């Protein structure tokens, strides 16, 4: 199903996060420098985009979805996943994740995003009319206006810079 224009900003952010997940799943994660660089990037993503994304979903999207009995259990599941993901983000900010935990984080985030896209967004588009979706979209835009336009430094760039300075 084509994504409703009012949900597109969230879908774009999902694409950013999925790209991070793919890059983590392909990364070596063998040295302390690699682990540190990835955790730094994860923390940057959270601070600059994902915390606003979660806030927008929790304030505007999830309450609207909860109005439909068939979406309530899904919303509860997604909220529980937000809690789990926040823990991962916090642990990344504290630089205490190991390689296995980084891969688990990427898998958890990827699975969460796909669930939102395939189940929540699809379900909402089927059940909520265009006027109600437009109202949700306007609220999402307000909340997401705080998202930083700063560029997140990818872990690969940080590692290459470290290699050059260390050689």
In the chain, what are the domain boundaries? Answer: 8-147
Total residues belonging to the chain: 167
Q: What is the pLDDT of residues 60-87, one digit of tens each?
A: 999 999 999 999 999 999 999 999 999 9
pLDDT value of position 112: 98
C-alpha–C-alpha distance, residues 143 and 57, integer Å: 9
pTM of the model: 0.89
d(CA 82, CA 88): 10
Nearest CA-CA partner of 61 in 118, 1, 3, 143: 143
Q: Helices 32-45 and 155-166 meet at what angle, rounded to 10?
A: 140
Distance of alpha carbon 143 from alpha carbon 53, whole angstroms: 8
As a whole number, mean pLDDT of residues 36-48 equals: 96
Amino acid 146: pLDDT = 78
Tokens representing residue 114 in the block:
């796909």
Report the first-to-last Cα separation within the chain, whole angstroms: 51
Q: What distance in Å separates the CA atoms of residue 41 and residue 47, rounded to the nearest whole number?
A: 10
Cα separation, 115 vs 162, whole angstroms: 37
**pLDDT tens digits, residue range 93-136?**
999 999 999 999 999 999 999 999 999 999 999 999 999 999 99
For residues 157 and 40, is the Cβ–Cβ distance under 8 A? no
**What is the CATH number assigned to the segment(s) 8-147?**
1.20.120
């Amino acid at each position: 199903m084509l994504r409703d224009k009012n949900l597109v900003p969230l879908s774009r952010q999902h694409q950013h996060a999925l790209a991070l997940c793919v890059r983590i799943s392909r990364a070596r994660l063998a040295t302390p420098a690699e682990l540190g660089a990835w955790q730094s990037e994860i923390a940057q993503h959270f601070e600059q985009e994902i915390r606003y994304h979660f806030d927008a979903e929790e304030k505007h999207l999830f309450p609207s979805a909860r109005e439909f009995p068939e979406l309530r259990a899904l919303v509860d599941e997604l909220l529980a996943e937000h809690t789990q993901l926040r823990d991962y983000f916090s642990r990344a900010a504290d630089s205490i994740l190991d390689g296995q935990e980084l891969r688990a984080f990427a898998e958890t985030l990827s699975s969460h995003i796909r669930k939102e896209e395939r189940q929540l967004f699809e379900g909402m588009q089927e059940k909520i009319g265009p006027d109600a979706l437009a109202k949700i979209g306007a609220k999402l835009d307000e909340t997401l206006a705080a998202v930083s336009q700063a560029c997140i430094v990818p872990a690969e760039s940080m590692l290459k810079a470290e290699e050059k300075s260390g050689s």
